[in-house]
């Protein structure tokens, strides 16, 4: 019972944040929620072990990112073997700034988007990202640099626009 | 210029906004999902065991051995496929993939039927049954007993596919748990649901050295439940590459649709055919 309470508290404290981070990774809210829910479903089955980890949230995020990368959700949706836990929530409708960032992220290659999101949204160091994605650290760094450059081109600050217009 | 602190802030804001608008399902729903997942793993385990038995028998009997073509060829979908129903043999243990279900199951009237039964090369008696269960869809169970023991004395496992309505043919994926790299195994699974009477799954093994491919066609006709669902689920762990094609036929033997997956070396299999 204590384990169940632990899990419920952990779930309540981390679910929304992980969905936000996975949204940055996938660019799709429904997919982000799906992979996070699946990751939590896997976590609850192993909770007696995972609760002893220093960062159980990192385990769930790692599983969710792997699921998103492997495209398991897409395949399984096709299979239609999993019943959705709930109807898809409405679009989050972020602010104008959020919309710009979300749109810019979707315009990036997924490899760059993943590294950017994991680094900036999840706060993971490059070495950890490289380990998670199974690529050399240099590759992760290069993707991060290219992604930042691409984002810089896409994220034109409205203030700068105004100044140029004048 | 978008510098790093600015990006950190923008990402943090995006995460915060999405998090605020995302509603978490109740923890109980996550637990239900975990249970469904475990049930799904049960299906895979059951059918994996069956596939190993069938694969072992196929290898033993050298079914379908043929000279090597240049590459994997698309299987014919017009001619009746060769069944893997074992040929008479004096040395191999008996196995039967039944041509017709023993029990016709109807929606709302759960029942069960034996799909296949036999004895493994090591003398293990086994029996695969399917049944329709209200709210759980098509359920498979594999019962197996120790060598020399009657199958009824053995243990069994069961898993269900869940209720569906459409006719969908999909190739599944393989892989380890989500936090591990995909295991170097190839799994093919397919699910056919809807008003289909017959499914042919053609599998062709293409060894890495491109010599002596072994081809065989399994006619999977596990269940005929008009207006409800028909299913099969096949999983193989071949040592090399497999080519597979799935063809669906309606109750009159007319082809509904088919699909060829020509390289199963990838961790998961792309493509799906949807028939309505």
Q: Angle at Cα B224 formed by Cα B220 and Cα B226, nearest 5°?
A: 140
- Higher pLDDT among residues B93 and A99, named by residue: A99
CB contact under 8 A, A121 and B11: yes
Average pLDDT, chain A: 76
pLDDT at position A96, please? 54
pLDDT at residue A43 is higher than 50? yes
Please give the Cα distance from A160 to B61 (Å, whole number). 75
pLDDT at position A11 = 92
Q: Which residue of B has its CA nearest to A71?
A: B268
User: Best-predicted range by mean pLDDT among A105-119, B69-83, B196-210, B231-245?
Assistant: A105-119
pLDDT tops 80 at residue B71:
no
Which residues lie below 8 Å from residue B239, measured CB to CB, with a gap of 6+? B207
A86 has pLDDT over 50: no
Give the separation between CA A61 and CA B172, rounded to whole angstroms: 24
Which two tokens mark B36? 């469904």
Q: How far is A39 from chain B (nearest CA, A)?
A: 8
What burial letters (b/e) apply to B35-53, b meaning 16+ CB within 10 Å? ebbebbebbbebbbbbbeb
Q: What pLDDT does residue B267 have?
A: 30
Question: Can you tell me the distance from the alpha carbon of B80 to that of B4, in angstroms, rounded to the nearest whole number?
Answer: 63
To probe the interface with A, which of B3, B6, B8, B11 has the most A CB atoms within 10 Å? B11
pLDDT the model gives residue A36: 92
Between positions 120 and 149 of A, the ones with CB within 8 A of B are: 120-121, 134, 148
Q: From B33, B168, B252, B57, select the one nearest A41 (Cα to Cα).
A: B33
Smallest Cα distance from A20 to chain B, Å: 4
pLDDT over 90 (residue B3): no
Q: What are phi and psi of B146, to 5 degrees?
A: -65, 155
* 3-state SS, residue B145: coil
Interface test with B, best of A5, A27, A41, A82 (most B CBs within 10 A): A41
Distance between CA atoms of B50 and B52, rounded to whole angstroms?
5
Q: What percent of chain B has pLDDT over 70?
A: 18
The residue with tokens 């090399």 is B240
**Chain B residue at shortest CA distance from A155:** B2
Cβ–Cβ < 8 Å for B193, B161:
yes
pLDDT of residue A142: 92
Which of A68-77, B28-37, B125-134 reaches the highest mean pLDDT? B28-37
Calpha distance A22→A25 (Å, rounded): 5
Q: Shortest CA distance to A134 belongs to which of A149, A115, A116, A150?
A: A115
Number of CB atoms found within 10 A of residue B203's CB = 24
Interface test with B, best of A4, A26, A53, A85 (most B CBs within 10 A): A85
Distances A160 to A150, A155, B9, B46 between C-alpha atoms, Å: 17, 11, 18, 62
pTM value is: 0.45
Mean pLDDT along residues B122-139: 62
Q: Which of B2-16, B135-149, B152-166 shows the highest mean pLDDT?
A: B2-16
Find the range with the poorest average confidence among A71-85, A109-123, B170-184: B170-184
What's the token pair of residue A29?
């809210």
Kindly tell me if the per-residue pLDDT of B63 is higher than 90: no
pLDDT band at B16 (very low <50, low <70, confident <90, very high): confident
| Sheet of strand B155-160: strand arrangement | B95-97, B112-119, B125-133, B137-144, B155-160
> Which three-class secondary structure state does DSSP give residue B252?
coil
**Residue A105 predicted with pLDDT over 70:** yes
Contacting residues for B98 by C-beta, under 8 A, at least 6 apart: B114, B115, B116, B221
Å between B207 CA and nearest CA of chain A = 26
The better pLDDT of the pair B68, A8 is held by A8
Residue A14 is predicted with a pLDDT of 92
Q: Compare A107 and B131 and report the one with higher pLDDT.
A: A107
Nearest to A27 by CA among A142, A106, A87, A122: A106
**Cβ–Cβ of A121/B12 closer than 8 Å?**
yes
Least confident of A5-19, A128-142, B31-45, B141-155: B31-45
Chain A residues with CB inside 8 Å of B169's CB?
A: none
Q: Do A15 and B24 touch (CB under 8 A)?
A: yes
- A117 inside 8 A of chain B by CB: yes
Residue B112 has pLDDT above 80, yes or no: no
pLDDT category of residue A111 using cuts at 50, 70 and 90: confident
Burial class (CB in 10 A: 0-12, 13-18, 19+), B276: exposed
- Integer Cα distance of B48 and B185 in angstroms: 12
Cβ-contact B120, B93 below 8 angstroms: yes
pLDDT band at B191 (very low <50, low <70, confident <90, very high): very low
Q: Does A115 touch chain B (CB under 8 A)?
A: no
Instruction: Write down the pLDDT at residue A108.
Output: 86
């Amino acid at each position: 019972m204590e384990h169940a309470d632990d899990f419920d508290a952990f779930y309540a404290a981390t679910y929304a944040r992980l969905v936000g981070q996975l949204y940055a990774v996938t660019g799709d809210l429904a997919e982000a929620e799906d992979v996070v829910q699946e990751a939590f479903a896997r976590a609850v089955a192993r909770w007696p072990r995972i609760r002893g980890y220093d960062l159980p949230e990192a385990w769930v995020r790692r599983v969710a990112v792997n699921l998103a990368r492997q495209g398991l959700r897409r395949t399984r949706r096709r299979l239609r073997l999993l019943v959705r836990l709930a109807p898809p929530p409405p679009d989050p409708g972020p602010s104008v700034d959020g919309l710009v960032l979300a749109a810019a992220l979707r315009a990036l290659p997924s490899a760059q988007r993943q590294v950017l999101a994991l680094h900036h949204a999840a706060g993971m160091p490059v070495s950890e990202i490289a380990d998670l994605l199974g690529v050399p650290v240099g590759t992760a760094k290069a993707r991060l640099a290219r992604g930042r450059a691409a984002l810089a081109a896409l994220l034109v600050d409205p203030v700068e626009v105004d100044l140029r217009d004048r | 210029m978008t510098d790093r602190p600015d990006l950190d802030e923008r990402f943090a804001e995006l995460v915060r906004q999405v998090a605020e608008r995302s509603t978490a399902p109740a923890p109980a729903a996550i637990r239900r999902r975990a249970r469904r997942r475990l049930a799904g793993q049960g299906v895979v385990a059951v059918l994996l065991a069956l596939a190993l038995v069938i694969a072992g028998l196929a290898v033993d009997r050298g079914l379908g051995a043929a000279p090597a073509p240049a590459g994997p060829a698309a299987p014919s979908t017009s001619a009746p496929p060769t069944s893997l129903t074992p040929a008479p043999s004096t040395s191999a243990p008996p196995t039967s993939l039944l041509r017709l279900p023993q029990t016709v199951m109807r929606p709302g009237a759960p029942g069960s039927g034996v799909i296949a039964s036999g004895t493994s090369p090591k003398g293990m008696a086994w029996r695969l049954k399917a049944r329709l269960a209200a709210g759980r869809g098509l359920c498979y169970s594999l019962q197996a007993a120790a060598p020399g023991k009657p199958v009824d004395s053995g243990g069994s496992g069961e898993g269900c596919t869940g209720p569906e309505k459409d006719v969908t043919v999909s190739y599944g994926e393989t892989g380890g748990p989500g936090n591990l790299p995909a295991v170097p195994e190839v799994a093919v699974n397919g699910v056919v649901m809807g008003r289909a009477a017959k499914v042919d799954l053609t599998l062709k093994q293409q060894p890495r050295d491109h010599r002596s491919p072994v081809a065989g066609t399994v006619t999977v006709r596990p269940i005929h439940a008009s207006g409800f669902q028909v299913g099969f689920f096949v999983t193989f762990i071949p040592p090399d590459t497999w080519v597979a094609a799935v063809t669906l036929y309606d109750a009159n033997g007319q082809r509904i649709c088919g699909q060829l997956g020509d390289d199963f070396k990838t961790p998961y299999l792309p493509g799906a055919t949807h028939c309505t």
